[in-house]
Amino acid sequence: MSDVKKGKVWAIATGPGSSDLITVRAARQLGELDVLYAPAGRKGGDSLALSIVREFLPPTLNIKERHFPMSADQGEKNAAWDAVAQEMQTDAEQGLQVGFITLGDAMLFSTWVFLLERLRGHVDIEIIPGVTSFACIAARAQFPLAMEQQSMAVVACTAPEEELEQALLNHECVVMMKVYGRVIQIREMLRRLGLLDHAILMAEASLPNEQCFRHLDEIHEDTKLPYFSTILVNRAS
Q: Does 60 bind its own copies (CB under 8 A)?
A: no
In the shown chain, the binding pattern of residues 153 to 192 toward its own copies, with x for contact by CB under 8 A and - for none, equals xxxx-xx---x--xx--xx---------------------
> Tell me, what amino acid is at 204?
E
Report the chain's terminal Cα–Cα distance, integer Å: 61
The CA-atom distances, in angstroms, between 219 and each of 48, 156, 237 are: 25, 20, 21
Closest CB to its own copies among 124 and 188? Answer: 124
Residue 96 CB, shortest distance to its own copies, in Å, is 20
Dihedral sign of CA atoms 89, 39, 43, 17 in order? negative
Residue 218 CB, shortest distance to its own copies, in Å, is 21
Q: Which residues from 95-134 bind its own copies, rule CB under 8 A? A: 105-110, 113, 116, 120, 125, 127-132
The CA-atom distances, in angstroms, between 137 and each of 6, 204, 229, 232 are: 39, 9, 10, 8
Closest CB to its own copies among 206 and 229? Answer: 206
Distance CA 207, CA 76 (A): 32
Q: Does 50 bind its own copies (CB under 8 A)?
A: no
Q: Does 81 bind its own copies (CB under 8 A)?
A: no
Q: Does 193 bind its own copies (CB under 8 A)?
A: no
